[in-house]
Amino acid sequence: MTKTPEDRRLELLQGTLDMLILRTLQWGPRHGHGIGLAIRQQSDDLLKVETGSLYPALHRLVRRGWLAAEWGVSEANQRAKFYQLTAKGKAQLLREQDRWSQLVRAIGLVMKPPAGREEKA
């Protein structure tokens, strides 16, 4: 399929979104709304996940076998679909964390080079 620039941006976001979702589920199952809320709160309201992206991402992760979904009842006694990490999902989370910290380090090196190296170059 022809890839438009929007698609590419979405893809970039998707990669991180998947990782963020896996991370929020690290401490136990949550429903979709709870996941969105958790990301927003934990990012100090900097990241706001649109439901239009969140739910397709959740289903994609289920399809890949990283998440399992189950209908349940919330603390406020409301019916909701709860997502939780599978064993495969936990392994994936570890991989993503590794890759993420490498990426951060690499980008950090490029963006804030140590003072001495800049002079050499």
Partner 1 sequence: MKPPKVDELDEEIRAHLALAIQERIDRGEDPKAARLAAIKEFGNVLLTRESIQRVWRPGWFDAAEAFARDLRFAFRSLLRAKGLTLTVVVTLALGIGANAAIFSVVRTVLLRPLVNRDPDRLIYVRQTAFGIGADNLTFSMPEIRDLEASSKSIRTFGDFSTVDFTLVGSGGQPRLVTAGVVNGSFFEVMGLRPVLGRLLNGADDGREAPHVAVLTYPFWTSAFHGDPAVIGRSIQLGPAPATVVGVLEPCVPYPAETQLFANVVTSPHHLGATMKNERWHRMTELFGRLAPGATLEEARAELTAAHAGMMREHPENYAVKAHVGLRVTTLRDQLASPARPVLLLLLAAAAIVFVIACSNVANLILGRSMRREAELAVRAALGAGRAALRRTLLAESLVLCTAGAALGLALAWPLASVAGRYAARFSVRALEARVDGSVLGLGIVLALVAAVLLAFVPRLPSSERSGGPGLAVGSLRMTPGTKRRLRLFATTQIACSFVLLAGAGMLLATLNALQTANTGYDMRQVLAVDVPPPATGFPGKDLMDFFSEATRRIGALPGVDGVASGMIVPWRDRNPGLKIQFGFEGYQPAAGEEDPTCEFRPISPRFFAVLGVPILAGRDFADTDTEQVAIVSRSLAQRVFPNGDALNRHLWFRSLPQRRRIIGVVADVDDENVVQEPTMTVYAPYRQIGLAGRLFVRAAGDPYALVPAVTRTIRRLSADQAIERASTLEDVRAQVLAPERLNAFVFSAFGGIALLIAVVGVAGVLAFSVSARTREFGVRLAVGATPAQIQTQVLKEGLAIVAVGITAGAALGYGLARLASTALGPLHLPGVLPAFIAAGILIAAALLASIVPAARASRVDVLQALHSE
- Footprint on this chain of partner 1 (rule: CB under 8 A): 1-4, 31-34, 37, 50-52, 55-56, 59-60, 62-63, 65, 74, 76, 78-81
Least distance CB 80 / partner 1 (angstroms): 5
Structure tokens at 76: 């406020």
Euclidean distance between CA atoms 17 and 57, whole angstroms: 8
Measured from the CB atom, the residue of 32 and 89 that comes closer to partner 1 is: 32
Euclidean distance between CA atoms 21 and 18, whole angstroms: 5
Measured from the CB atom, the residue of 87 and 94 that comes closer to partner 1 is: 87
Site of tokens 């896996």: 22
Amino acid 93 reads: L
Least distance CB 2 / partner 1 (angstroms): 6
Euclidean distance between CA atoms 81 and 98, whole angstroms: 29
Euclidean distance between CA atoms 78 and 69, whole angstroms: 16
Least distance CB 10 / partner 1 (angstroms): 10
Measured from the CB atom, the residue of 51 and 101 that comes closer to partner 1 is: 51
Least distance CB 78 / partner 1 (angstroms): 6
Measured from the CB atom, the residue of 53 and 97 that comes closer to partner 1 is: 53
Tell me the residue length of the chain.
Answer: 121
